[in-house]
Structure formats: structure tokens, C-alpha cells
């Protein structure tokens, strides 16, 4: 067995020397940036670290542990990237990757998570919050309740009540969801760290102070202190009794017992529930509801069909009109083409939502320009009749969309070489044959990806639907807030944000369905586009 040769030792020495040179070059590069750049870098990193530490402390105080760990890891990586010499590509990529994760990847992942929960009206918080809210909203004043002289305090924008314990005489302070507890140095005039409110301040904030409900002890069944005048408080107890060991809520008036059935709400034997409930994991229930619940399935499929029809017709009509105008204005015999082209793109120059609002006024049944001027005072219910409302949407979208297709088709037509068309004329092809067999296939290769993107845009064209019809007229037999002209994205918006019952879980499930549909259609369309390119 032989040891390393002289050549091996020389190669190892050269490699070590090269590493030292690279390290020295990196440090020299960092030093050449100057002390001012380093100072700015240290200050910015210090601000980032301070914000990260503050965010971690707030999250930990709220009982969350995973987000603080993620923030800590990301902060350490950012410091390593910007403090270590070299790593130039990482210095440019890091901000973009962070924004990509925060504003896109995190949003998508959070939407997926919400789709598998019951998050919505009545189910937006934790079980502890739901228990506290149920006990507070069913409070009644205890008969012959003793009077508690109080002083109203304020700290950090929140209000508290200061009162003396009837048994010990010690002064105690409590706030919303914070039981009374002794405070050293407190007396009838106030407590250290708090600001006592005078009469004028109490009157100014009387609504917030009147809504204040201070638990007497850690056990919410012991009751709450409430005040109406800011000088005296009275004992209130709930008509519901919470049994933590049995996990039940009992109505003391009727004797009905409500239990936690795992669905995020206390439920009685007859199926009645107490709201608010709390957020729980429901698995695929939202997706099952979307496809099996008859009051949701019918409207959902109706909206789905109309969404496809609207997207396809929008692309087809705008493309046909845009292509026609592009061919007409590309004719060398036509005069003043530049003037006409400017006129053609004017609808594209105005914000889409403003144009939709203007058209909504023009389609007004009683005072609109279309009925009063074009139809001689007729009362056509453009936006009230389901079919006319859909026709109005297609007309307005044609007005908004054809300038874009006109510009795209004009550029595509002008890029087709004249010698190819001349060869067709020499072979005896007619104008229609040249267009059908030469111009259109070449134009389609260039325009097809834009048609796909236009389809995806119209598939989610929320502004037009919301500004023109609001999704109406309303579907009366639907259990969700949806109308005849709603498309999927406007239906999702209504389910999540409109009306008294807001179902974020179901809306998130619909959002995932939309994402899958658009992704699948785009994939198939781009494959077909590739086939067109290969054929040409």
C-alpha cells in the first residue's frame, strides 16, 4: 500500500490555495462595499430582527408555537445570507422568495386548510371563547343582587372595573374575559398602572363600558359584574350552566342538556344547537356538501355551467370581433387607419369597473339610455330577467374585451410574411382560402396562448359580474347566497363575505375546485397549442 504521491500533494496544496483565494476575494468584495453599506445593512437587519422577535412574542402569548419557530428559522437564514460574504445570488433571491411564500404559497395553503374546517359564521374561534360567549350572552341579573361600588379604569385602550371584595375589603380589578384579582396599592380612587375615568369620559365611552362583562372568579358559572351608570355594578349569572368535566352546557330554565358532538357546537338530543360554536376539522365535508347537498348542488352546477358558457362566449365573441376589425384595418386600401385604431382601443383605456357601472346605468329598466333612447321608452328588464341579464353581461364584456383582441390580432397578422401569402396567390388560392389555410393557422399559433389566458381571466371575471348585476337576479330556492348571473368566483365571494351566514370553509372548498378546473383546462389547452405549433 503506497502513500500519496508528490503529484497528489501538489494538487491538494493547489486546491487549498484556491479556496483561500476565493475566501479572501469574498472578504475583499465585502470590504470594498464600504463601511456605510455595512452600517445600512446592520440597521436594516436589526429592524427585521426586532420585528421578528416582537411577532414571535405576540404569537407565543396567544398560545401559538409553530409560526414563531418558522419566523425564527427564516430570520436566522436572512441574517446568514446578508452577513456572510459572498452568496450574491441568494441576496437577490431571498426577498422574492419570502414575498412568494407570504403572499402566494401561504395563502394557497391556508385556503386549503380552511376548506377542511367548519370556519364561518358561528364557528370562528376556539371552544373556550365559545363557552365564554354563550355564558355572557345569556346573562340575567341576580335578584336582590348586592350593589358593588366601582371605579372605571382604562389601560392600553381597554376598560376595567375596580371594586372592593365584600368579604376581605381588598380592592380588585377585572376586565372583559379577565376575572377580578387583587392589585397592590389600589384604593377607591384607582390602581397603579391604570387611569381612572371621570364622569365625562364615562359618558363618552358609555357603550363600551355598558357592554363590559367582568367574571367574578375563574369559574364563569359564578357570574359577572356589569354596570349601566359607571358608578355601581350588579351581579349577573347565565341561564346556561357549563360543566367542564362532563363537557356539557345545560339550560337552567328548560333543563335541556347540550353536548359537544365533535361538530363544533353544543348540540341537544333533538339536534338544536347553541351558537356561537367553535372551529373544528371536518375533513372533506365541505366538498361533500358541494356535490351532495341538493340545496347547494343545484345552484353550484347551474353557476358552473354558466361560468363555462360565459368564459367560452366571452373569448369567442371578443376574438371574432377583434380579428374582423384587425383584418379590416390591415387592408392597405383603407384610409385613416391610425385614427380608427385609436377609436377602437378607447374602451380598453378606461377602467373596467367604471365601464361596468356606466353600462349598468344604461341598462336601467326605467331611466336607462338603451330603453329610453334606443327602444323609444320601452321598459325592458335587462338586469332583472335572468336571460336578458346574461345577454347584457356578454354585450358589456364584448365592449370591454374586443380592443385587446384587436391589438393582439393586428400584431399577429402584420407578423405573417407577405411572401407566404403571395405564394398562395400564385398557386391560384382565393382570398378566403389564403385566410383559412395560411393566415388563420399561423395567427392561431401566436394567439392561442393568449386565448387560453383570456379564458382563465373571464372564468374569474369578478369585477364585471359584481359591478353590472351583482350576480342577480337571486336564486330563491338556493340555501346559499347565489344569483342567476353569478360565476364561480362571485359565488365564492358571496358565500364568504355577503349575508348573515358566512361559510368560509365552503367558500374555500369552492376556491380549490375553481383552481383545479382552471389548471386542468389550461394544461389541456397548452398541450393542444403545442400540437398546433408542431403541425405548422
Question: Which tens digit of pLDDT belongs to each residue from 42-58?
Answer: 888 899 999 999 999 98
For residue 511, what is the enclosing H or E element? helix 504-535
Q: Are residues 429 and 370 in the same domain?
A: yes
* CA gap 230, 203 in Å, rounded: 9
Bridge-based pairing of strands 139-141 and 195-196 is: unpaired
Determine the average pLDDT of the residues in 411-434. Answer: 81
User: What pTM was estimated for this model as a whole?
Assistant: 0.80
SS (H, E, C) 87-137: CHHHHHHHHHHHHHHHHHHHHHHHHHHHHCECCECCECCCHHHHHHHHHHH
Q: Are residues 138 and 103 in the same domain?
A: no
Torsion of CA 456, 459, 462, 463, to 10 degrees: 70
Of 384, 442, 376, nearest in space to 415 by CA: 442
In a domain, 18, yes or no: no
Determine the average pLDDT of the residues in 74-102. Answer: 87
Q: Which residues contact 179 (CB under 8 A, 6 or more apart)?
A: 214, 215, 216, 217, 218
In a domain, 53, yes or no: yes
DSSP codes joined into one string, 309-334: HHHHHHHHHHHHHHHHHHHHHT-TT-
Share of the chain above pLDDT 90, in %: 40
For residue 273, what is the enclosing H or E element? strand 273-274
Share of the chain above pLDDT 70, in %: 93
pLDDT at 66: 85
CB 283 within 8 A of CB 116: yes
Confidence of residue 32 (pLDDT cuts 50, 70, 90): low
CB 444 within 8 A of CB 531: no
Q: Which value, in Å, is the radius of gyration of the alpha carbons in the chain? A: 35
Average pLDDT, the chain: 86
Of the listed ranges 32-36, 47-51, 293-297, the one predicted with least confidence: 32-36
Determine the average pLDDT of the residues in 335-343. Answer: 78
Q: Are residues 86 and 175 in the same domain?
A: no
Which of 219, 252, 285 terminates a domain? The answer is 252
* CA gap 474, 499 in Å, rounded: 13
Of the listed ranges 253-267, 305-319, 325-339, 505-519, the one predicted with least confidence: 325-339
Q: Are residues 322 and 393 in the same domain?
A: yes
Q: Are residues 445 and 468 in the same domain?
A: yes
pLDDT at 384: 93
Residue 472 has pLDDT above 90, yes or no: no
Determine the average pLDDT of the residues in 185-204. Answer: 88
Residue 1 has pLDDT above 50, yes or no: no
Q: Are residues 148 and 111 in the same domain?
A: no
Domain hosting 367: range is 294-535
Q: Are residues 104 and 142 in the same domain?
A: no
Q: Are residues 324 and 367 in the same domain?
A: yes
| Burial of 465 from C-beta contacts in 10 A (0-12 / 13-18 / 19+) | buried
Confidence of residue 536 (pLDDT cuts 50, 70, 90): low
Q: Are residues 237 and 344 in the same domain?
A: no
Determine the average pLDDT of the residues in 409-426. Answer: 83
In a domain, 438, yes or no: yes
In a domain, 376, yes or no: yes
Grid coordinates standing for 397? 364584456
* CA gap 409, 444 in Å, rounded: 9
Q: Give whichever of 197-206, 228-237, 290-299, 390-399 has the largest mean pLDDT.
A: 390-399
Residue 18 has pLDDT above 50, yes or no: yes
Q: Are residues 102 and 150 in the same domain?
A: no
Tell me the CATH number at 134: 2.40.430.10
CA terminus-to-terminus distance, the chain: 66
Residue 424 has pLDDT above 60, yes or no: yes
Q: What is the per-residue burial (b if ≥16 Cβ within 10 Å, else e) of 60-74? A: eeeeeeeebeebeeb
Which of 64, 93, 115 terminates a domain? The answer is 115
Residue 131 has pLDDT above 80, yes or no: yes
| Total domains, the chain | 3
Q: Are residues 360 and 470 in the same domain?
A: yes
Grid coordinates standing for 46? 436589526
Of the listed ranges 34-48, 65-79, 98-112, the one predicted with least confidence: 34-48
In a domain, 506, yes or no: yes
In a domain, 151, yes or no: yes
Tell me the CATH number at 360: 1.10.3720.10
Determine the average pLDDT of the residues in 78-90. Answer: 84
Confidence of residue 264 (pLDDT cuts 50, 70, 90): very high
* CA gap 301, 307 in Å, rounded: 10
pLDDT at 397: 95
In a domain, 111, yes or no: yes
Which of 115, 147, 182 terminates a domain? The answer is 115
In a domain, 189, yes or no: yes
Residue 118 has pLDDT above 60, yes or no: yes
pLDDT at 156: 86
Q: Are residues 464 and 529 in the same domain?
A: yes
pLDDT at 445: 83
* CA gap 397, 319 in Å, rounded: 12
Residue 30 has pLDDT above 50, yes or no: yes
Confidence of residue 12 (pLDDT cuts 50, 70, 90): low
Cβ neighbours, 10 Å, residue 354: 10
Residue 522 has pLDDT above 70, yes or no: yes
Q: Residue written as cell 338586469?
A: 383
For residue 515, what is the enclosing H or E element? helix 504-535
Amino acid at each position: 500500500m503506497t502513500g500519496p504521491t508528490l503529484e497528489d500533494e501538489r494538487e491538494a496544496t493547489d486546491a487549498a490555495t484556491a479556496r483561500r483565494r476565493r475566501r479572501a476575494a469574498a472578504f475583499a468584495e465585502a470590504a470594498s462595499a464600504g463601511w456605510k453599506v455595512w452600517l445600512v445593512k446592520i440597521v436594516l437587519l436589526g429592524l427585521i430582527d426586532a420585528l421578528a422577535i416582537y411577532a414571535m412574542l405576540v404569537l407565543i402569548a396567544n398560545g401559538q408555537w409553530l409560526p414563531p419557530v418558522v419566523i425564527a428559522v427564516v430570520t436566522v437564514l436572512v441574517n446568514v445570507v446578508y452577513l456572510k460574504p459572498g452568496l450574491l445570488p441568494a441576496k437577490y433571491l431571498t426577498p422574492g422568495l419570502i414575498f412568494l411564500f407570504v403572499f402566494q404559497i401561504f395563502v394557497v395553503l391556508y385556503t386549503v386548510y380552511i376548506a377542511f374546517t367548519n370556519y364561518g359564521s358561528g364557528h370562528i374561534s376556539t371552544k373556550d371563547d365559545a363557552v365564554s360567549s354563550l355564558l355572557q350572552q345569556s346573562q340575567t341579573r341576580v335578584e336582590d343582587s348586592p350593589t358593588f361600588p366601582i371605579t372605571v379604569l382604562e389601560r392600553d385602550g381597554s376598560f376595567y372595573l375596580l371594586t372592593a371584595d365584600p368579604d376581605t375589603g381588598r380592592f380588585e380589578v377585572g376586565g372583559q374575559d379577565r376575572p377580578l384579582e387583587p392589585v397592590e396599592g389600589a384604593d377607591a380612587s384607582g390602581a397603579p398602572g391604570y387611569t381612572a375615568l371621570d364622569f365625562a369620559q364615562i359618558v363618552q365611552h358609555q357603550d363600551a363600558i355598558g357592554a363590559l362583562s367582568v367574571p367574578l372568579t375563574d369559574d364563569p358559572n359564578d357570574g359577572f359584574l356589569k354596570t349601566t351608570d359607571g358608578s355601581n355594578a350588579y351581579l349577573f349569572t347565565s341561564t346556561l350552566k357549563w360543566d367542564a368535566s362532563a363537557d356539557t352546557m345545560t339550560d337552567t330554565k328548560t333543563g335541556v342538556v347540550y353536548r359537544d358532538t365533535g361538530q363544533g357546537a353544543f348540540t341537544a338530543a333533538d339536534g338544536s344547537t347553541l351558537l356561537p360554536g367553535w372551529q373544528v376539522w371536518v375533513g372533506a365535508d365541505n366538498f361533500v356538501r358541494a356535490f351532495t347537498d341538493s340545496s347547494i348542488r343545484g345552484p353550484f352546477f347551474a353557476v358552473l355551467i354558466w361560468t363555462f358558457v360565459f368564459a367560452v362566449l366571452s373569448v369567442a365573441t371578443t376574438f371574432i370581433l377583434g380579428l374582423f376589425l384587425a383584418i379590416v384595418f390591415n387592408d392597405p386600401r383603407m384610409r385613416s387607419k391610425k385614427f380608427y385604431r385609436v377609436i377602437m382601443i378607447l374602451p380598453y383605456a378606461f377602467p373596467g369597473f367604471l365601464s361596468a357601472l356606466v353600462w349598468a346605468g344604461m341598462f336601467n329598466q326605467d331611466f336607462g339610455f338603451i330603453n329610453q333612447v334606443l327602444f323609444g321608452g320601452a321598459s325592458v328588464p335587462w338586469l332583472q330577467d335572468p336571460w336578458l341579464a346574461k345577454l347584457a353581461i356578454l354585450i358589456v364584456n364584448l365592449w370591454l374585451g374586443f380592443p385587446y383582441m384587436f391589438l393582439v390580432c393586428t400584431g399577429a397578422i402584420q407578423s405573417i410574411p407577405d411572401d407566404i401569402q403571395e405564394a398562395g396567390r400564385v398557386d391560384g388560392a382565393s382570398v378566403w382560402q389564403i385566410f383559412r389555410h395560411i393566415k388563420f393557422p399561423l395567427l392561431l399559433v401566436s394567439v392561442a396562448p393568449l386565448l387560453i389566458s383570456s379564458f382563465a381571466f373571464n372564468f374569474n371575471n369578478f369585477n364585471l359580474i359584481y359591478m353590472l348585476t351583482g350576480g342577480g337576479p337571486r336564486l330563491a330556492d338556493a340555501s346559499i347566497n347565489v344569483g342567476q348571473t353569478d360565476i364561480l368566483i362571485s359565488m365564492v365571494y358571496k358565500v364568504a363575505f355577503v349575508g348573515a351566514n358566512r361559510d368560509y370553509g365552503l367558500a374555500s372548498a369552492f376556491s380549490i375546485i375553481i383552481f383545479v378546473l382552471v389548471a386542468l383546462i389550461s394544461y389541456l389547452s397548452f398541450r393542444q397549442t403545442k400540437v398546433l405549433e408542431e403541425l405548422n
